[in-house]
């Protein structure tokens, strides 16, 4: 992999935000020969691709799967270019997507699709036709690739033909599963366990095709977890950026973009310093960008209508808790979903919860121990509830839910009693505080049935020399969207300056 920059040119790019999108833009900017500086508000880079240490354990809080781990794809090349992956990268993780438990029965979606098919058929012969159709379409979805070579809006007919070939099976998936959501998919099955299986992993409003694409990604080996998890990957990317001459300023919150005569000319930091630049890239949450960095007058109707209509464009976050458990006391692998007595959380009630085991990565816990993590989905209503609480009530409510989670874990896994310790607990407000994430959302707008999938421009009307690089640019967001958004912002800048990436 060529990591050397093209011949330097006398132009400077300033990037606001050192998440995956900002770092990716930084590395592609250096590659194209620009002087690049990233300003990140936190003491560590990575943004939502995060991990932190507690009580001698590591809480890995992002990569459940990284799309693009299969060599040869355009997306793999992006990960390789930014230093996230290389030929020596080891992949860890389990041989399964997740397990659903209901009334004492369980079903696992394995990465081995034939095994899944056989087990689904054995469980519910009366669902044979739907099962076979589902499996066949996951197979189709597993052939699909994420476009990562150049921005879609810059593609020629020849590019589209090439992209069409790599997405040849996608129309079949979209035709069968693109106009139903996960609730509809679940309703196609007769067996109660299968009905729950399809609504456990993602919000049930998600269009069903996106679930098949996620599962297909895992089945094809294109969605693995790199060893060391999220933070280790971020550290490799930061190292690549610095090796290429980029400058990363941590603890450097940006207050606003400096705009003169309809042109971005730099940034003002919160400590009032001005940093002048030829181009400014906002790689923050887009609401943070509109509200504080450039002003809502730059928000197009499209952005306005999506942000103001949370029914059509829902967002989700999580109420999460991490524990360290004795390895011998917990025998589950991967993520498991199960019924629990109701937990009131964020003003609403849930009767299902999930636990993910990180036993695949021994370095996350001392010998003989494993980290497990619980995630209870939180939507706008729950975010608003958390927001409405005073500081004291917020802390009390967090503790109350944490205890409720502990109790439900002991009910489901009695062997954990006396073998489990709390590591940490966090809510949508944590994401808001840490990343300036709108309503605590850690993905972009949900892809709903009957709603045109959200995609926005990388530029802002009325402001020259300003680009957006963020997972928010394309639903449903995620790491691939963030990394390619960074690359594509530089693609346009380099094109303007007649430079190659």
Ligand X SMILES: Cc1cc2nc3c(=O)[nH]c(=O)nc-3n(C[C@H](O)[C@H](O)[C@H](O)COP(=O)(O)OP(=O)(O)OC[C@H]3O[C@@H](n4cnc5c(N)ncnc54)[C@H](O)[C@@H]3O)c2cc1C
State the residues that interact with ligand X by CB under 6 A: 16-22, 39-42, 47-49, 61-65, 253-254, 283-285, 288, 318, 435-437, 442-443, 470-471, 477-480, 482
Return the number of the residue (203 or 318) whose C-beta is nearest ligand X. 318
Alpha-carbon span 22 to 117, nearest angstrom = 41
Return the number of the residue (16 or 371) whose C-beta is nearest ligand X. 16
Closest distance between ligand X and the C-beta of residue 379, in Å? 15
Return the number of the residue (195 or 314) whose C-beta is nearest ligand X. 314
Return the number of the residue (193 or 405) whose C-beta is nearest ligand X. 405
> Which pairing describes strands 51-54 and 91-92: parallel, antiparallel, or unpaired?
unpaired
Return the number of the residue (238 or 283) whose C-beta is nearest ligand X. 283
Alpha-carbon span 5 to 428, nearest angstrom = 39
Alpha-carbon span 180 to 53, nearest angstrom = 41
Return the number of the residue (17 or 246) whose C-beta is nearest ligand X. 17
Closest distance between ligand X and the C-beta of residue 84, in Å? 11
Alpha-carbon span 212 to 199, nearest angstrom = 12
Closest distance between ligand X and the C-beta of residue 200, in Å? 16
Return the number of the residue (120 or 280) whose C-beta is nearest ligand X. 280
Return the number of the residue (195 or 487) whose C-beta is nearest ligand X. 487
Sheet architecture: strand order including 279-282: 247-249, 35-39, 12-16, 279-282, 466-468
Alpha-carbon span 73 to 80, nearest angstrom = 11
Question: For residue 120, what are the CA distances in angstroms to 14, 110, 135, 164?
Answer: 52, 11, 10, 32
- Choose among 430, 364, 435, 320: nearest CA to 45: 435
Q: Which residues have C-beta within 8 Å of that of residue 250, sequence separation ≥ 6? A: 18, 40, 42, 43, 44, 45
SS (H, E, C) 262-307: CEEEEEEECCCCEEECCEEEECCCHHHHHHHHHCHHHCCHHHHHHH
Closest distance between ligand X and the C-beta of residue 275, in Å? 12
Helix axis angle for 74-81 and 479-496, nearest 10°, is 80
Return the number of the residue (41 or 240) whose C-beta is nearest ligand X. 41
Closest distance between ligand X and the C-beta of residue 130, in Å? 27
Backbone angles phi, psi at 244, to 5 degrees: -85, 5
Closest distance between ligand X and the C-beta of residue 190, in Å? 31
Return the number of the residue (346 or 480) whose C-beta is nearest ligand X. 480
Alpha-carbon span 398 to 49, nearest angstrom = 23
With vertex at residue 203, the alpha carbon angle to CA 458 and CA 325, rounded to the nearest 5 degrees, is 110
Backbone angles phi, psi at 336, to 5 degrees: -125, 135
Closest distance between ligand X and the C-beta of residue 198, in Å? 19
Closest distance between ligand X and the C-beta of residue 132, in Å? 28
Closest distance between ligand X and the C-beta of residue 318, in Å? 6
Backbone angles phi, psi at 260, to 5 degrees: -130, 125
Closest distance between ligand X and the C-beta of residue 289, in Å? 8
Alpha-carbon span 478 to 300, nearest angstrom = 23
Assign residue 419 a region: left if phi > 0, alpha if psi is -120 to 50, beta otherwise? alpha
Closest distance between ligand X and the C-beta of residue 494, in Å? 20
Return the number of the residue (62 or 404) whose C-beta is nearest ligand X. 62
């Amino acid at each position: 992999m060529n990591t050397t920059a093209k011949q330097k040119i006398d132009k400077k790019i300033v990037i606001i935000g050192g998440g995956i999108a900002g770092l990716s833009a930084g590395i592609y900017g250096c590659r194209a020969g620009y002087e690049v500086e990233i300003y990140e508000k936190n003491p560590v880079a990575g943004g939502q691709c995060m991990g932190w240490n507690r009580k001698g354990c590591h809480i890995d809080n992002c990569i459940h799967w990284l799309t693009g781990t299969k060599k040869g794809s355009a997306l793999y090349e992006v990960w390789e270019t930014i230093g996230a992956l290389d030929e020596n990268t080891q992949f860890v993780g389990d041989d399964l997507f997740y397990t659903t438990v209901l009334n004492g029965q369980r079903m696992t979606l394995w990465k081995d699709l034939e095994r899944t098919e056989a087990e689904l058929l054995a469980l519910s012969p009366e669902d044979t036709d739907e099962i076979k159709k589902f499996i066949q379409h996951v197979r189709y979805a597993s052939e699909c690739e994420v476009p990562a070579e150049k921005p879609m809006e810059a593609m020629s007919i020849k590019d589209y033909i090439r992209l069409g070939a790599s997405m040849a099976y996608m129309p079949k998936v979209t035709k069968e599963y693109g106009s139903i959501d996960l609730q509809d998919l679940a309703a196609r099955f007769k067996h109660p366990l299968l009905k729950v299986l399809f609504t456990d992993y993602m919000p049930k409003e998600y269009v069903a095709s996106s679930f098949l694409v996620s599962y297909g990604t895992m089945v094809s080996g294109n969605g693995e977890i790199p060893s060391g998890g999220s933070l280790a990957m971020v550290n490799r990317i930061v190292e690549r950026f610095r090796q290429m001459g980029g400058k990363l300023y941590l603890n450097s919150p940006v207050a606003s973009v400096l705009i003169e005569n309809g042109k971005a000319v730099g940034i003002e930091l919160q400590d009032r310093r001005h940093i002048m630049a030829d181009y400014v890239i906002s790689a923050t949450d887009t609401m943070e960008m509109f509200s504080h960095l450039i002003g809502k007058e730059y928000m197009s109707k499209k952005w306005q209508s999506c942000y103001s209509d949370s029914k059509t464009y829902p967002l989700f976050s999580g109420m999460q808790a991490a524990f360290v458990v004795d390895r011998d006391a917990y025998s589950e692998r991967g993520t498991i979903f199960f019924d629990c007595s109701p937990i009131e959380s964020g003003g609403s009630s849930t009767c299902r919860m999930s636990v993910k085991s990180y036993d695949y990565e021994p370095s996350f816990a001392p010998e003989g121990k494993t980290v497990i993590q619980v995630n209870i989905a939180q939507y706008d209503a729950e975010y608003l509830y958390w927001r409405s609480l005073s500081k004291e009530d917020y802390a009390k409510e967090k503790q109350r839910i944490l205890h409720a989670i502990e109790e439900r874990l002991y009910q489901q896994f009695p062997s954990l009693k006396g073998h489990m310790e709390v590591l940490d607990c966090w809510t949508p407000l944590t994401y808001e505080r840490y990343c300036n994430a709108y309503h605590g959302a850690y993905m972009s707008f949900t892809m709903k049935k009957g709603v045109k999938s959200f995609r926005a421009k990388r530029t802002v009307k009325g402001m020259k020399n300003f680009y957006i690089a963020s997972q928010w640019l394309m639903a449903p967001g995620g790491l691939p969207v963030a990394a390619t958004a960074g690359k594509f912002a530089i693609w346009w800048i380099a094109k303007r300056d007649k430079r190659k990436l």
